[in-house]
Amino acid sequence: MENYYWIGLKAVPGIGNVAFRRLMERFETPESALKASPTSLASVRGMTPAVIEGIRNSQWQRFADEECRRLEASSARLVNYLSREYPKSLFEIPDPPPFLYIRGELRSCELSIAIVGSRRATSYGLMTTGKLAEALASHGVCVVSGLARGVDTAAHRSALQAGGRSIGVLGCGVDKIYPPENRALFEEMALKGCLVSEFPLGTLPLAENFPRRNRIISGLSSGVLVVEAAEKSGSLITAQYALEHGRDVFAVPGNISFATSRGCNRLIKQGAKLVDCVEDILEELPAYAREAADAPLFHPPPRTFALTPKEAAIYELLARSPLHIDDIISQTELTAGEVSSMLLHLELKGAVTPLPGTHYAIT
């Protein structure tokens, strides 16, 4: 029944990810928000009369009913942003989804690198992708990509073949296999890794969905490696998101006579790190600490914790940058007393740490 209200609130026209979290901050649960009075709803920033009417007319109920039935019949599940399982790195992006559809195992704190590139990759691009994905997996790094043809498919396959984990972020519902020739890979990913989507079940792989899913690829990763990309491609959109999210951007240099090399070569000119071996990536990762060349990466103890809506509001702010307590109060709907209390709770969970001058940062 909990999923019913999460799905229902998101289905109300005009309620995007930001409005969803504001309502949660005010009402604590989706059910309470959907049952709130018009006066209470109007007190939340951004709630227009049209949105309030969308909540009150209950047209969201039909979609929520149907989606819950589809979810029950599928092998997918919902992971909401308050859950211990929700990846905390997604709080660092400007528009984190309130919940994700998941098939497989999603780990809330996992060292990951995204590998993206051309759907029409050259044999060189596919070979290089396989080599680097396999090496990352052998060092315990999860490989994230978009399960598209070409570089994405090679990255996922090589990581799994090396015995590692891989996450596929979809531009469609997790019940839609796209491209269709990747059916076997989809099933293997669900068993040995994870399939992730913010789109409802049954969503088709429409072109407009893919740029949006690219921010999730970046958000789940410590850095983004572009193997082959034309000058105007989705891979460069992912690289741009990575820069905006404070992630490292890596690029494999390519043959100057190939169109699929121009995007990567331009990224390198603009400051992306040139990669010709896996050590070029590993040495940029904070968790990289090896006593010997063949030793596994050192992973710090994972930060796994659940959050309340009010804690999540503060954690999301601090995930982007450290803040003074007064700035936290001014940027949330919370009182000074609530902020002080939530900061203490987050400290006890090991989620945030105090800094000099009543500033706070995520741990």
pLDDT at 293: 46
Domain shared by 268 and 124, yes or no: yes
Residue 81 lies in a domain: no
pLDDT at 299: 52
Distance, in Å, from the CA atom of 3 to the CA atom of 11, rounded to the nearest integer, reads 12
pLDDT at 295: 55
The contacts of residue 272 (CB under 8 Å, 6+ apart) are: 226, 239, 249, 250, 251, 264
Residue 89 lies in a domain: no
CATH number at residue 349: 1.10.10.10
CATH number at residue 159: 3.40.50.450
The structure's pTM equals 0.91
Domain shared by 172 and 255, yes or no: yes
Q: Which residue intervals of 140-233 are DSSP H helices?
A: 151-161, 183-192, 209-219
Contact by Cβ (8 Å): 52, 38: yes
pLDDT at 286: 73
pLDDT in tens, the chain (363 residues): 789 999 999 999 999 999 999 999 999 999 999 999 999 999 999 899 999 999 999 889 999 999 999 999 999 999 999 999 999 999 999 889 999 999 999 988 889 999 999 999 999 999 999 999 999 999 999 999 999 999 999 999 999 999 999 999 999 999 999 999 999 999 999 999 999 999 999 999 999 999 999 999 999 999 999 999 888 888 999 999 999 999 999 999 988 888 888 999 999 999 999 999 999 999 998 766 443 345 555 555 556 899 999 999 999 999 999 999 999 999 988 899 999 999 999 999 999 999 999 999 998
Domain shared by 219 and 260, yes or no: yes
Domain shared by 61 and 110, yes or no: no
Residue 174 lies in a domain: yes
Distance, in Å, from the CA atom of 162 to the CA atom of 185, rounded to the nearest integer, reads 14
CATH number at residue 60: 1.10.150
Domain shared by 262 and 314, yes or no: no
Residue 92 lies in a domain: no
Residue 96 lies in a domain: no
pLDDT at 25: 92
Residue 316 lies in a domain: yes
Contact by Cβ (8 Å): 84, 306: yes
Domain shared by 161 and 262, yes or no: yes
Which residue in 10, 260, 15 sits closest to 116, CA to CA?
A: 260
Which residue in 46, 95, 99, 102 sits closest to 74, CA to CA?
A: 102
Domain shared by 108 and 242, yes or no: yes
Domain shared by 234 and 319, yes or no: no
Domain shared by 334 and 245, yes or no: no
Domain shared by 150 and 226, yes or no: yes
Domain shared by 16 and 162, yes or no: no
pLDDT at 292: 38
Domain shared by 264 and 221, yes or no: yes
Residue 111 lies in a domain: yes
Sign of CA dihedral 41, 44, 49, 55: negative
Residue 273 lies in a domain: yes
3-state secondary structure of 258: coil
Full residue range of the structural domain in which residue 258 is found: 104-282
Number of domains into which the chain is organized: 3
